[in-house]
Every structure is written in structure tokens, then in C-alpha cells.
Chain A
């Protein structure tokens, strides 16, 4: 990262407690006039130092380079504020799902899930848990590539003695072991999120929209069946297990009815990612090897994927 490069901040697009996001351009350097997003972390105004998520984001994005992961272009310091220069990505998957004017088909869904899994695969093989996968964090570049963003909750795979917080992942995409308050989870939490995203893409509405944490548990098991000690050893040892209602797991026929357009292989893949027992849940390599990606229709070429109709400029 050369010192010669400079950036302009042109338009403020968002503001949170810890950061402001601007749109801007790269001034000189190898790719002049490249559009970038600049995340300015407000360090100066806090006595305790800066927000943890900014450090996480920097730490992991510096390491990860992949087509399906957002690129951290540069980091610089200005007026005691830390600035993260990120790739400019105008849309995210949530916008696409919500925009009812956009039609997308099985081939498009396949490509999006494929790109998501490729990105997740790159994280996992570098021993990084994303812990906040949701359509909102899957950004889309103008040429159709999907990129995983927001590594504010990411962390490295824990050492065995580490205790992790179960208060991660946006509620609707939270895996059952997190809902129960598990503290020693692994990659499988990300796989669950991808499974829920897959379901959401097919339904075009959120699959498990819980109103609060208790409702989320209830909804998850109503849709997918309450796990028992037989298919998930020691699940009853979670303190909150006793309070939940018992629902039967859905039959294949019910799932087929719910996901009308899905092929058998698509359902297999989805059920693999939405397996209750984290030990039996498919890992990312297993998912990528699913026959779903090989069967017809072929995944759409990224450049031909549906885009937002309105131009955000």
C-alpha cells in the first residue's frame, strides 16, 4: 500500500455510532479514478479507544483476498480518525430480494449461493468465522460478483479453551446452537446462515423471521422440527432446552410444497445446511460438491445476473 495514493470523500452515505461511510474516488496510484467506499472510524471522540469491530474488520480483511470477499484497498489515518478504504459495491442481496420488480430464477439463485459458498470457503480454510452472514452483508459489484462484507463480528477459529459469545449473527440467521447459548461452536454457524439465505432466495421472504430471541427458537423448530438427544447428542444439556415446545420435523413432502421450484438436489443441499446437529451439518466443501451445482440449469454468468432497476448514483 503506497503512500502516494490519496482519496477524496465526496458523499456521505451512512452513519453509525462508530463510523461514517463516504463515497469517494482514488486520486492517483495504480488505478486512478476508481470508485471506493471509505469508512471513517471515529476514534478521536472516544476515550476508550476505538470500536472492536473496526479492528476485527481490518485484521481479517487484510488477510483475505478473494473474488467473493470485499477488498480492503487501503487504511490510513487522518485527524486521529482511522479510515478504511473499501471496494465500492453499489448493491446488496437484500435489495435484490426485496425489489419486487426484479425477477430471478433458479439459475440466478444457484450462482449467488455458489459465490457465497466460495467466499465462505475461503474464510473457513483460513480459519476465520464470519458470524454475521445475511443478505444485507452480501454485496454485489457492478459486474455481478457477490462479495461477503462486514467482518465486524468475525473471529479466528477458537482454541479449545476459548469461550465464545453466543450473541452473534443477526437473529433470523442464527444457528440453533447459538440460540441455545452454545459457547464452543465452529464453522457450522456460518453454514446455517447460508442455508437460511438459500431458503430466503427461493421464497423471496425471510425464512425464519423471529420477533425476539424466544420467538426465534420457537419459529426455527416449528419450521424444521425440534432436535432431540437422538439426532443431536447432549442437546438437552442446554439450560434453555426444557422450556421449548416439541415439534415434529417436516416431511419431505411438506418441504417440497414450501419450496415449489426447488429440485431434489437443491432441497438436499438446503437440508444439509439446515441440519440441527452442528456436528452433522454439511461443511462448506461438502456443500460445494453438491450435485445441485452440476445439474441443469447451469448457474448464470455473474455479468448476466439481475441487477437493481433503479440506478443508485
Chain B
């Protein structure tokens, strides 16, 4: 039996590709031994079991099985390792603030880890390293995952936007073409009409041409607008990376413009304050219906009660003066 034939046969149940063309092979990243789908179902459906290959003592679980992408098991294995390592070591050049040397060093280190894992060198130590790095940098890793997710989302949004714009543009162009054709026909008819009424030919043609020119279609105007929008398309600007650079130097955007006072001047220790007068108002229909809220009343009263406490005007004046001198 030559190599070609063996590849097309499950080594466990000896099912042949020739007889069951729907057969799929799965591998488990523990040992990368190829097993056909029905064997996986049969052997591992009752829970973890030993790999059925002779001499392989790895315990495999069914949910870890996946279909093989690359024919070469070595490649497959390396790709898996890479995927795993890059999930943890996911820094980008931005994290090093553009320091190329540092970034290269970091990449070299990651490459070493992958090589060691791939070739089984010092696996225990390397695994340890991976784990400790993951624990130490959990925050950063999550942030980077989020960022790459956002990059992908931005990219998708941009593609969608551009596609829509292109569609619109095309339909407008088609409209313009149609209108132009209609106009040309109209002009022809008009010329013939007017000539039949006996006016001088040159003048008629000139006049008709002028009116056609004036009939600049609304579709054309829309197209111009669209082109303008396309030109300052926010996504393309992001793509060029110019906008992003500029934004870094600017204060970051916040909806409140950094001007939001979250610390109240008071703290409520209880939610229920039983003021019979206000409680009564709260129940009256005309108050409820017009949107009266007791919290608003309390907020104003309490804030005003404590307003100015803890402000020392003399001290503030002092610092003001000194800053003026400076």
C-alpha cells in the first residue's frame, strides 16, 4: 500500500475514501493523529479516552478535535501553537510607542517561545513563562483584543459605507445618462418642430442647445454632493492614519468635555426620607402627570444647603494672587 492510498483510509476502522466519499478526518492538537469522524464519535462519545493509535498514550477529548487545515501535520501544529501564543503575546508596535528596537526584541522573544514549544525544547519552563506573562499582563491583553476587534469592526463599517456610496454613485450616473439621452431626443424633436413652424434654422438650434444646457439635472447635483461626501469620508481619513496621529496629541474626546462633577456635596445614607408634605404631592395626579420628581427637589435643596461649605475664600484669593504674580 503506497502513501497515497493510506492517506485516503482511516487507520483505525480501515474505512476507505473510495467506499465512503463523505469521510472527514479530524485531528487532536494533543498528538495530531488522524482519525475519521465516525471513529471520533464512536471512541470519544463517552468521555475522554486514550488515542487509538498504537503506542500513543495521550488522553484525548472529543471537543478538542478539529478538521485539519494543512496537509503537513508539522505545519498544522505550528499554526496552532502560534495562534495560542499570539492570543497572549498580542502587543503591537503602538504598545512600544514606535520603538522599533524594543518591538523587534519582543518579537524575537515570542518567536523563541514558539520554536521551543514546536520542537519540544524545555516545554515545562516555556509553558510556565507563557502562563506567568498571561497573568501579569491580563489587562493589556484584554485591551489589545478589544482594539483588534475594533479595528476589524471599523474596517467592516468602512467597507459597508464605501459599498453603499458606490452603489448610489452608480445609480445616479445611470440616471444622468438616461436623462441626457432623453434630453438629446427632446432637442431633436424640438428643432424639427420649430423648423416646421418656419423660423431660421441657426437661431432655433442655438436656442434649443441653450435650454438643454440649462436643464442640468438634479441627479447631477446629487452626484456632486456625493462626491464631496466621499472626498471627506471619515473612514478613508482613518485609513491614511493622518487623523489618528493628530488625535493622539489632542486631549482625548469625552462627551462631557472633562467637565463633569460626579461627587455630590452630600451623601444620602437612606433612600427614604419621609416628608409628609412632599410625599403627599408625589401622589397627586397633576404632579405625577407633569413629570414632577421628588429626587429633583431633594437634589436642589441638599446641594444648596451644602453649597459653599469647605470653600475658603481667603485661601483661594491667596493662590489667585500668587498665580498672578507668577
- The answer to whether A71 has its CB under 8 Å from any CB of chain B is no
Stretch among A75-83, A87-95, A201-209, A288-296 lining the B interface: A288-296
Q: Do B234 and A185 touch (CB < 8 A)?
A: no
| B contact residues, total (Cβ < 8 Å) | 33
Q: How far is the CA of A120 from the CA of B131 in the complex (A)?
A: 50
Specify which of A183, A232, A294, A296 is in contact with B154 (CB 8 Å cutoff). Answer: A296
Distance from B161 Cβ to chain A, minimum over Cβ atoms (Å) = 9
Q: Which of A267-313 contact B (CB under 8 A)?
A: 277-279, 281, 285, 288-290, 293-294, 296-299
Residue B255 at the A interface, CB < 8 A? yes
Bound complex: CA A161 to CA B287 (Å)? 10
In the complex, the chain B residue whose C-beta lies closest to that of A159 is B297
Which of B154, B255, B281, B294 has the most A CB atoms < 10 Å from its CB? B255
Q: In whole angstroms, how far apart are the Cα atoms of A98 and B57 in the complex?
A: 79
- Least Cβ–Cβ distance between B109 and chain A, in angstroms: 35
Shortest C-beta distance, A7 to chain B (Å), equals 26
CB neighbours of B291 from chain A (8 A): 177, 182, 184-186, 188, 277-279, 281
Interface of A, helix, strand, loop or mixed by DSSP: loop
Q: Is the CB of A234 within 8 A of B225?
A: no
Whether the pair A235, B289 counts as a contact (CB closer than 8 A) is: yes
Known contacts A114-B255, A121-B256, A127-B300; A298 and B234 CB within 8 A of each other: yes
A289 to B294, CA, bound (A): 23
How many residue pairs bridge A and B at CB < 8 Å? 90
Instruction: Tell whether, in the assembled complex, residue A160 and residue B278 are in contact, meaning their CB atoms are under 8 Å apart.
Output: yes
CA distance A67 to B277 in the complex (A): 39
- The answer to whether A298 touches B286 (Cβ under 8 A) is no
Q: A259 interface residue, CB < 8 Å from B?
A: no
A153 at the B interface (CB under 8 A) = no
What is the CA–CA distance of A235 and B286 in the complex, to the nearest angstrom?
Answer: 9
A118 to B297, Cβ gap below 8 A? no
Q: Which residues of A contact B286 (CB under 8 A)?
A: 182-184, 234, 237
Tell whether B115 is near chain A: CB-to-CB under 8 Å. Answer: no
Q: Is B235 an interface residue when CB atoms closer than 8 A count as contact?
A: yes
Q: Does A187 contact B (CB under 8 A)?
A: yes
**CB of B70 within 8 A of chain A?**
no
Q: Determine the chain A residues whose CB is within 8 A of the CB of B277 once the complex forms.
A: 160
* A296→B157 contact, CB < 8 A: yes
In the bound complex, residues from chain A placing their C-beta under 8 Å from that of B261 are 125
* Interfacial chain A residues near B278, Cβ < 8 Å: 160
